[in-house]
Structure 1
Amino acid sequence: MAKLVLNVALPAFKYKAMYAGAAKNLVASSLDGRKVQLPLSAFQSFVTHQGIYGLFEVEFDNRNKLLGVTKLR
């Protein structure tokens, strides 16, 4: 299984626009420089009034299917 660590900073107004249908995916760069596109719904449980902020670990299976997202800090 592969894991990536992402530093996500998505303000609430951008999340709201994305959630309203403007976009379905979050594009972010991992700490090691790889760019990934993930479904916004994977981060739904981490949304606050400020938006989505923090360091996240994303886990994939051998076929690069998203298994889960964990907030590190």
Structure 2
Amino acid sequence: MPALTFELHLNTQQFLRYYQGQASQVVVICSNGQRLRLPAANLRSFLRQDGIHGWFRIHFDDNHKLIRLERLSAP
């Protein structure tokens, strides 16, 4: 199962754009330099009072369908 690792730092104001309908995707640069675009809805479970912060790993199948997104560490 392929996986990519990335660091993400979004404050609550930045993520609020998703709830307001202004943004539907988040673009990150993975640790291997690859650009990854993922639906913001997949990050909702990681939202805390100060936003979304930490290292994450995304697992996907051979067709690039998301299987699992996990937080590896938080600051």
Q: Would you call these one fold, judging by a TM-score over 0.5?
A: yes
CA distance in 2, matches of 1:52, 1:19: 14
Q: How large is the Cα RMSD of the aligned pairs?
A: 0.7
TM-score by length of 1: 0.95
Over the matched positions of the two proteins, sequence identity in percent amounts to 29
- Compute the displacement of 1:65 (Å): 0.5
After TM superposition, the runs of 4+ consecutive aligned structure 1 residues lying more than 3 A away are none
- Compute the displacement of 1:17 (Å): 1.4
Specify the SS of the correspondent of 1:64: coil
In structure 1, stretches of 5+ residues that fail to align are none
- Other-structure match for 1:54: 54
In structure 2, stretches of 5+ residues that fail to align are none
TM-score by length of 2: 0.93
Specify the SS of the correspondent of 1:63: coil
